[in-house]
Chains A and B, each alone.
Chain A
Amino acid sequence: MNQETKLKLLKQIILISAAFCILVAFLLIVNFWQMKKSNPLESQTIEALVQRLAVDDNNEELRKEIRSFDLLARKAYFTSAWQVKTGAYLLFFGGVVLALALKIRTDIQRKIEPPETITDDPMMNKFVSHRWLLVTGGLVFTLALLSAFLSNDYLKSYDPGQFVDTETSSQTETIEVIPIVESVATEKGDSAILSNAVEPVPQAVAETGGAPDTPKTVVKLAKAEDFKKNQSTFRGFLGQGISFHKNIPTNWDGSSGTNVKWKISLSKPGYNTPVIWGDKLFIAGADKTSRVVSCYNRHTGKLLWEKEADNIPGSPATPPKTTDDTGLAAPTMTVDGNCVYALFGTGDLIAFDLDGNRIWAKNLGVPANHYGHSSSLITWNGKIVVQYDTAKGGRMIAINTANGDFIWDIPRANKVSWSSPTLLESKGKMLIITSADPNVIANDLETGAEVWKSPVMSGEVAPSPGVFNNIIFVSNEYAKTVALDAENGGKVIWETDEYLSEVASPVAINGLLFLATSYGVLVCYDAMTGENVWEKEFSSGFYSSPMIAENKVYIIDMSGVMHIIKADRTGTIVKEPELGEAAFALPVFADGKIYLRGKSSLYCIGE
């Protein structure tokens, strides 16, 4: 073989082995990148399934599914590991061949190279270098400055005590804040707590060195009668579903405009029910891009203000996934005359005063909830009560209305739920009653302490508890309807599985319990015995809950027909006016008026 052919051959070997090495390296990188992207070890599918298993831990099918997914992930992982290993050996082998060929070729070709002539002009070099140094220095310092604008100093948004939980807060010294309470005219039949409205609340304020007798903030709290005057919470006064308003219209037609005082279309979707304080009506809406609270003049329908709930520390950059029938603005807001409080599916809790000034905001932690968080807020005695049952554990939370601080925050063993708290005064205490899988729990509003619990519920609980004379009614589809004795540790009084509610919450008055199902049955039980008094079937189902006003049951079905029925043993249908659009929110009452949220519009109805 002469020199020429040798060189030719070597060139070919070099080309082929180099191509081979590049190909293998490329495949290795692709493999690495794929593994990084799919990362079988942290499969989201498995995680989601495991989460489901946490809710439903007897599901053998699910277990099997998880196991097979796990096996698949392991297989993917080890196959890729094998590929990497084999690839590495191939690369090594190719590299050796390439290097040998290169070496032999260089040896053959070696000759003395004459020194290059100097073409570099040192002056010019230095001049160009000085420019590039200017660029480098400028770039580094500009980047540093830029980072100052782009990075977020979370430490500044921290207020001390933000993370104090119950155990630690009991150790912190607290100052009693005495709210100014005006003397209250006791209403007949009102009990002690209700008539004193809202006793001075000791609001926990972490000791900051101030004299112990100077209150930090003095908040004027609303009285019980104010709450009765305004449907300020989901299901009205104490969340019990009963309105105290008079002259409620019974006749309207949304599409022709009969008795429609005004109608406005809403900028953002939401399943929350509007709330009212005085002349103002508040409503929340949210989509993926933003979350807003809007305030309208309830007499004219004029938009007074609309504010975004944004820039909240801890709020997720992308909102959690929710289903279309829940969305990010399912929880109903609550208003107490000082502020309106809104909670969104992102876990953002925000307070605006009635003029739309933002007072405080915080994130409660993004709720792990496969439909979306929907439990509504309720406020009483300077506290906002939040039922925060998520797939990662349940919490009952009381938040200081004045500053958004946690008053107490108690973990609980309940699974994720969608129901809202109901308040009930029992034995001189204001109790928070909540229904979730597996426990119906009564917590003391003041301390958060669990007063009793009753393990009677199961499944994905959405209906909130109803109340009549210290009897509590809970219901859920695929579970049962149960009446519990609130004064007797939550003892079961009666139960039935004849009709079960999926979403609508039961309401009780006059010794009768009304329950609506998602397949269109409204049933009336004797509240004491559970005896079926009457039942009516309608063509459309109920997601909205029955409300009682002027001794009539008002319940709007999913097609937008309001069924107005006497709340007595006859169950006479009074009227069935139509809204003309789908409806899921509850009717909101004010004297002589009724406000209805349709799927996209808000109606004010008055005769």
Chain B
Amino acid sequence: MKNIGHKIVFLSFFVLILVQANAQRFPKPEFESGYEQPSPTTPEPRSNALEYLDVLILFASLSLASWLVIKRRSRRGVLWLSIFTLLYFGFYREGCICSVGSIQNITLALFDPVYKISITVLIFFLLPLVFALFFGRTFCAGACPLGAIQDILVFRPVSIPVWVRKALGFIPYLYLGLAVLYAATGTDFIICRYDPFVGFFRMDGPYTMIIIGIALLLLGLFFARPYCRVFCPYGVLLNWMSRFSKYHMTITPAECISCKLCEPSCPFDAIEIPVSEKVRTQKVLRQNLKRFSLYALLIPVWMFIGGYAVSSSHVLLSKAHQDVYLSELLIAHPELKSDTKNLDIKAFLESGKTFDELVANASLIRAKFKSGGWFLGGFLGLVIGIMIMNQFVFRTKTIYEPHKGDCFSCGRCMDYCPVVKLK
């Protein structure tokens, strides 16, 4: 409620962008008077020095975020930092360069020997992960523009039932897997294509993108950080790293006295409550162990089913590739083969490639999807298998703690803790 003013300003701002995006869609007139449309120009790439500046600022924000949340324990500080990040990496750098999207550059570089990855992108990919490995997801707290735009708009968060969270928690893995598959086959950078907030940062974008962005932000008023929790593929990697973090933030500055005051404080349901010994009878324990072993044994089955299923969906998945799409379009509608009004066809005709070459390449891509589908499906099967198995693992816990993987280190919970650290 504190930041209601700028929340509203932001909201109205989005609506205005929406209007703006709409107004630009009118097609240019066809001139008969001989007027020539000026040809578009490509902007210069960003200079090296400025790229290093980006790296520097990322490093600084990560360090500052970690310091603010772990040492200074200042939610206010983290908030201001995230506003800066939103302005700099969001609105000034227009959401690109971005650690979340860098997954795809890394993948493409691994699979396509011709594709050269810049050192900046590599650092953007690695640095937040390294920080997460030591300090938790401080990147999400103060250095990610996508996280920042959602975090500022957390209004009346409601607690989401565990089972919903668990089930939705599978989506980021799916998204990550698909993003890697599409990047590895050189098909598309889907994380960037479906980035819901970049339209705001650039104050332009397809109508549907803006609508989805607005919908997500509206949803975020109640379901805090929906993109981070249900979609973000980079979040998967950060989550893994953060689980090992030694210096992760804590709710209490000293000893947790289990006063329960912090319990409702996390908008993201990331606080784990104490689990006492007594819920478990011997019988239950035995049953759990049985289930645990059964599901552990089933993991390879999940992997096989996943691999088979995803691989057999390769026809559908590969349709997103330009060559596959174009080949199928032309096979299905041969009458379009010289339709220069269709920009894709025009581009193909101008490329001088023959149709046979196009179809051959499309078939190759499709074959890649078939084999890649086995890996993706196997990975997803593994993930779901482990997730299910984990539902039968219980650890005794006596204090209130953030879940190291899920916690965004935003620092909200700290203010709720009545314990004071004695100097």
Stretch binding the partner chain, chosen from A94-102, A222-230, A499-507: A94-102
A125 near B163 with CB under 8 A, answer yes
A99-B4 CB under 8 A given contacts A123-B284, A147-B313, A154-B328: yes
**In the complex, how many angstroms separate the beta carbon of A138 from the nearest chain B beta carbon?**
9
Chain A residue nearest in CB terms to B7: A99
Within the assembled complex, what's the spacing in Å between the Cα atoms of A364 and B334? 7
B343 contacts the other chain (Cβ, under 8 Å)? no
Contacts of A103 in B (CB 8 A): 1, 4
Give the residue of B5, B26, B327, B391 whose beta carbon is less than 8 angstroms from that of A77.
Answer: B26
Residues of A within 8 A of B377 (CB): 141, 144
Q: Which residues of A are found within 8 Å of B354, using beta-carbon distances?
A: 168
Question: Within 8 Å CB of B95, what residues of A?
Answer: none
List of B residues within 8 angstroms of A163 by Cβ: 330, 334, 337, 355-356
Q: Among the interface residues B273, B359, B381, which one has the most CB atoms of the partner chain A within 10 A?
A: B359
Question: Which residues of A lie under 8 Å from residue B170 when comparing CB positions?
Answer: 133, 136-137, 140
Most buried by A among B23, B25, B310, B332: B332
- Within A120-143, the residues touching B (CB, 8 Å) are 120-123, 125-137, 140-142
Asked if A151 and B316 make an inter-chain contact with CB atoms under 8 angstroms apart, the answer reads yes
Given A102-B4, A141-B310: A154 touches B332 (CB 8 Å cut-off): yes
- In the complex, the number of residue pairs spanning A and B with C-beta atoms less than 8 Å apart equals 193
Q: How far apart are the CA atoms of A168 and B259 in the complex, in Å?
A: 81
Question: Is B275 part of the binding interface, using a Cβ–Cβ cutoff of 8 Å?
Answer: yes
Stretch in contact with the other chain, from A85-93, A232-240, A266-274:
A85-93
Out of A81, A141, A363, which one reaches B309, CB within 8 Å? A141
Chain B 4-45 interface mask (CB, 8 Å, partner A; 1/0): 110110011001101100110111000000000000000000
> Chain B residues near A118 (CB, 8 Å)?
260, 263, 273
Question: Chain A's nearest CB lies how many Å from the CB of B262?
Answer: 9
Chain B interface secondary structure, helix, strand, loop or mixed? helix
- Nearest Cβ distance between residue B172 and chain A, in whole angstroms? 12
| B312 x A148 contact (CB < 8 A) | yes
Q: B316–A133 contact, CB under 8 A?
A: no
Minimal Cβ-Cβ distance residue in B for A206: B356
Contact present for B319 and A313 (CB under 8 Å): no
Task: Give the docked Cα–Cα distance between A126 and B166 (Å).
Answer: 9
Distance of A264 from chain B, by nearest CB (Å): 36
Contact at B315–A131, with CB atoms within 8 Å? no
In the complex, A169→B334 CA distance in Å? 17
Contact A144–B11 (Cβ < 8 Å): no
The residues of B that contact A113 with a CB separation of less than 8 Å are 264
Most buried by B among A81, A136, A142: A136
Cα distance, A103 to B2, chains bound together (Å): 8
| Interface check A365, CB cutoff 8 A | yes
Say which size band chain A's interface belongs to. 35 or more
A592 at the interface (CB under 8 A from B): no
Partner of B394, one of A99, A123, A142, A363: A123
Is the Cβ of A160 less than 8 Å from the Cβ of B356? yes
Pairwise interchain contact B302-A137, C-beta atoms closer than 8 A: yes
Do the beta carbons of A142 and B391 come within 8 Å of each other? no
Total contacting residues, chain B, CB less than 8 A: 74
Within 8 A of B (CB), among A128-186: 128-137, 140-142, 144-145, 147-148, 150-155, 157-158, 160-164, 168
Name the residue on A nearest B17 (C-beta): A88
How far, in Å, is A111 (CB) from chain B's closest CB?
14
Distance (Å) between the CB of B369 and the closest chain A CB?
11
Task: A399 to B175: give the CA distance in the assembly, Å.
Answer: 47
Inter-chain contact A155/B391, CB cutoff 8 Å: no
Nearest A-chain residue to B3, judged by Cβ: A103
Do the beta carbons of A116 and B284 come within 8 Å of each other? no
**Interchain CB contact (< 8 A) of A145 among B167, B280, B309:** B309
With a cutoff of 8 Å between Cβ atoms, the chain A residues found around residue B356 in the complex are: 160-161, 163
Q: Is B313 a contact of A129 with CB atoms below 8 Å? A: no
Interchain nearest-CB distance for A366 vs B (Å):
6
Closest A residue to B288 by beta carbon equals A123
A373 to chain B, nearest CB (A): 12
Of the residues B280, B334, B337, contact of A123 by C-beta under 8 Å: B280
B228 to chain A, nearest CB (A): 19
The reply on B56 being an interface residue by CB < 8 A is no
Is the pair B264, A155 in contact by a Cβ cutoff of 8 Å? no
Interface residues of B in 192-216 (CB under 8 A from A): 207
Chain A residues closer than 8 Å to B380, beta-carbon distance: 137, 140-141
Pick the contact of A125 from B15, B162, B363 — CB < 8 Å?
B162
> Is A41 an interface residue, CB under 8 A from the partner?
yes
In the bound assembly, the distance between CA atoms of A41 and B333 in angstroms comes to 24
Nearest-neighbor residue (CB-CB) of A153 within chain B: B315
Instruction: Please report the C-alpha to C-alpha distance between residue A281 and residue B315 in the assembled complex, in whole angstroms.
Output: 42
Whether A133 contacts B391 by the Cβ 8 Å rule is yes
Distance from A343 Cβ to chain B, minimum over Cβ atoms (Å): 14
Supposing A116-B264, A130-B392, A155-B359 touch, asked if A144 and B312 sit within 8 A by C-beta, the answer is yes
Tell whether, in the assembled complex, residue B384 and residue A126 are in contact, meaning their CB atoms are under 8 Å apart: no
* Known contacts A151-B315, A163-B355, A364-B335; A134/B327 CB under 8 A: no
Would you call B388 an interface residue if the criterion is a C-beta within 8 Å of the partner chain's C-beta atoms?
yes
Binary interface profile of A, 108-122, with partner B (CB < 8 Å = 1, else 0)?
A: 000001011010111
Known pairs A99-B8, A106-B1, A363-B334; A123 contacts B279 (CB<8 A):
yes
Q: Is A194 an interface residue (CB 8 A)?
A: no
Beta-carbon contacts under 8 Å, A289-339 to B: 313-314
Chain B 299-317 per-residue mask, 1 if CB under 8 angstroms from chain A, else 0: 0001001101110110111
Distance between Cα atoms of A157 and B391 in the complex (Å):
47
Indicate whether B289 reaches chain A with its CB closer than 8 angstroms: no
Cβ distance B25 to chain A, nearest Cβ, rounded Å? 8
Tell me whether B331 is interfacial, beta carbon within 8 Å.
yes
Q: How far is the CB of A519 from chain B (nearest CB, A)?
A: 36
Q: A162–B332 Cα gap in the complex (Å)?
A: 12
Are A347 and B335 in contact, CB atoms less than 8 angstroms apart? yes
- Tell whether A155 pairs with B263 under 8 Å between CB atoms, given A95-B12, A122-B275, A128-B162: no
In the assembled complex, the CB of A39 is this many whole angstroms from the nearest CB of chain B, namely 11
The residues of A that contact B306 with a CB separation of less than 8 Å are: 137, 141
Residue contact A314 to B315, C-beta cutoff 8 Å: no
B19 contacts across to A, CB distance below 8 A: 81, 84-85, 88
Name A115's contact: one of B207, B261, B310, B391 (CB within 8 Å).
B261
Q: With A130-B392, A144-B312 as given contacts, are A92 and B167 in contact (CB-CB < 8 Å)?
A: no
Q: Which residue of B lies closest to A160 (CB)?
A: B356
Q: Is B366 engaged at the interface, CB distance under 8 Å to the other chain?
A: yes
Question: Are B335 and A365 within 8 A (Cβ)?
Answer: yes
In the complex, chain B residues whose CB is within 8 Å of the CB of A88: 12, 15-16, 18-19
A145 to B315, CA, bound (A): 11
In the bound complex, what is the Cα–Cα distance between A314 and B333 (angstroms)? 5
B387 contacts the other chain (Cβ, under 8 Å)?
yes
- Point out the residues of chain A lying under 8 angstroms from B309, CB to CB: 140-142, 144-145, 148
Q: CB-defined interface of B364-407 with A at 8 Å, one 1/0 digit per residue?
A: 00100000000001001100100110011010000000000000
A392 within 8 Å of B (CB atoms): yes
Q: How many angstroms between the C-alpha atoms of A88 and B14 in the bound complex?
A: 9
Known pairs A96-B12, A123-B394; A155 contacts B324 (CB<8 A): yes
Partner of A41, one of B26, B163, B263: B26
Q: Chain B residue with minimal CB distance to A86?
A: B19
Closest chain B residue to A78 by CB distance?
B26
Task: List 16 additional A-B contacts (Cβ < 8 Å) besides A92-B11, A140-B384.
Answer: A41-B25, A92-B16, A99-B4, A103-B4, A126-B391, A130-B391, A131-B163, A134-B388, A136-B167, A141-B381, A148-B315, A151-B319, A152-B315, A153-B366, A163-B355, A168-B354
- Across chains A and B, which 9 residue pairs bring their CB atoms closest together, nearest first? A365-B335, A92-B12, A130-B391, A137-B384, A148-B312, A141-B309, A144-B309, A129-B166, A163-B355
Q: What are 5 inter-chain pairs, A to B, with CB distance below 8 A?
A: A133-B388, A137-B381, A142-B309, A163-B330, A347-B335
* Residues of A near any B CB (own CB < 8 A): 32, 41, 77, 81, 84-85, 88, 91-92, 95-96, 99-100, 102-103, 106-107, 113, 115-116, 118, 120-123, 125-137, 140-142, 144-145, 147-148, 150-155, 157-158, 160-164, 168, 313-314, 347, 362-366, 392
